[in-house]
Chain A
């Protein structure tokens, strides 16, 4: 596709459930990023992939959060035993190697009841 695609756009779940959020980056982009944006805040870094490997996962808040990118393209962010505090918009971005522009998707809005 032309841009970064994220699905689902909206997800409502109950406390304690498992959630998967998907990101389809721009074709050919080697770097992929996950950010989390809470209401009234700027995006907060979670994890960064260069190819298939997580180059930096220092932003993952705890071990309930995990992300994969098995073939170096699509990535899935997985959240186990969701808590109400996980409610936020989860943003994915991709870029080609080197400094420059990150292209962001429109985000997946997660609401944990």
Chain B
């Protein structure tokens, strides 16, 4: 079955790096995603990684995928107060279109 788990809360100081972790159970996942949700706003895709990759970098964001351990992480370099939000990990399988299975979300709080 599909299950995505994340830690609930992370607090960092402005300028530090943040690392948000996620584990998933479905080994047939094709794509893994990180979404950001700010208060009162819709979900915004930050980045996604194909399951045959182990790393993807996009400006301040680095995604690491350990397929053997089914572990996904999102590193945000030089974290800013504007990065405070809820971050959701999600997985999908191409055979099911873009049906995403989301984790419960990690609340990132950035202290100035």
Contacts and interface: CB of A to CB of B under 8 A. Distances in A.
Contacts, number: 62
Contacts of B41: 106
A3 B92 CA distance: 22
Interface stretch (B56-64, B69-77, B94-102): B94-102
Size bracket, chain B contacts: 20 to 34
Contact of A99 (B88, B92, B102): B92
A77 to B, nearest CB: 16
B48 A101 contact: yes
B43 interface: yes
Size bracket, chain A contacts: 20 to 34
Given A42-B103, A42-B105, A101-B48, A33 B98 contact: yes
What 3 pairs between A and B have smallest CB-CB spacing? A42-B102, A104-B43, A104-B42
Interface of A: 3-4, 31, 33, 35, 40-45, 48, 50, 55-56, 91, 93, 95, 99-107
